[in-house]
Structure 1
Amino acid sequence: MHFQQVQQAFVAHIKNPELPMPEGIAEDRMAVYRELFFNNVQGFVSSAFPVLKSLYPQVRWQALVRQFFIHFACTSPYFLHIAEHFLHFLQQDYQPQAEDPPFLLDLAHYEWAELYLATKQLPQQEQPLAAAQLTEVPLALSELTMLLAYPYPVHQISSEFQPQAAGEVQCYLLYRNRDDEVKFVLINPLTAALLNNLQQAPGSSLMQLVKALAPLVPQLDSDTLLSGASAILQDFAAKGLLVSFQAEQNSLP
Structure 2
Amino acid sequence: MSHFKDVQAQFMAHIKDPDHIAAPSDIEPRRMAIYSELFFNNIEGFITSAFPVLKSLYDEDDWLVLVRKFFIEHNCKTPYFLEISQEFIEYLSHQYQMTTHDPIFMLELAHYEWVELDISIRDEDESYTNFDPDDLDITPLSLSHLAWSLSYQFPVHTISPENQPQSIPEEPSYIIVFRDLEDEVGFIAINGMTALMLQIINENPNIKFEALCEALQSQVQSLSLDIIKQGAVSILTALIEQGVLVTQK
TM-score (structure 1 length as normaliser): 0.94
Tell me, in whole angstroms, the C-alpha distance in 2 between the residues paired with 1:21 and 1:230: 65
Map of 1:7 onto structure 2? 8
Map of 2:190 onto structure 1? 187
Map of 2:148 onto structure 1? 146
Per-residue CA deviations over 1:182-222 (Å, capped at 9, x if unaligned) read 11111101110001100111011111111111133222111
Contact residue 174 and residue 185 of structure 1 kept, 8 A: yes
Tell me, in whole angstroms, the C-alpha distance in 2 between the residues paired with 1:205 and 1:126: 15
Deviation at 1:245? 2.5
Map of 1:70 onto structure 2? 72
Per-residue CA deviations over 1:84-108 (Å, capped at 9, x if unaligned) read 0001100110000122100000100
Map of 1:218 onto structure 2? 221
Tell me, in whole angstroms, the C-alpha distance in 2 between the residues paired with 1:133 and 1:15: 57
Q: Mapping of 1:140-179 within 5 angstroms?
A: 140-167=142-169, 168-179=171-182
Map of 1:249 onto structure 2? none
TM-score (structure 2 length as normaliser): 0.95
Contact residue 151 and residue 166 of structure 1 kept, 8 A: yes
Contact residue 80 and residue 115 of structure 1 kept, 8 A: no
Tell me, in whole angstroms, the C-alpha distance in 2 between the residues paired with 1:39 and 1:60: 15
Percent identity between the aligned chains?
43
Contact residue 148 and residue 178 of structure 2 kept, 8 A: yes
Tell me, which stretches of 5 or more residues in structure 1 are unaligned?
Answer: 247-253
Q: How many positions carry a matched residue from both structures?
A: 246
Map of 2:230 onto structure 1? 227
Tell me, in whole angstroms, the C-alpha distance in 1 between the residues paired with 2:125 and 2:159: 34
Deviating above 6 A after TM superposition, structure 1's stretches of 4 or more consecutive aligned residues are: none
For structure 1, which segment, 196-205 or 213-222, has the greater mean C-alpha deviation from structure 2 after superposition? 213-222
- Structure 2 residue 153 is the aligned partner of structure 1 residue 131: no
- Give the secondary-structure state (helix, strand or coil) at the position aligned to 1:2: helix
2:91 to 89, 92, 106: 89
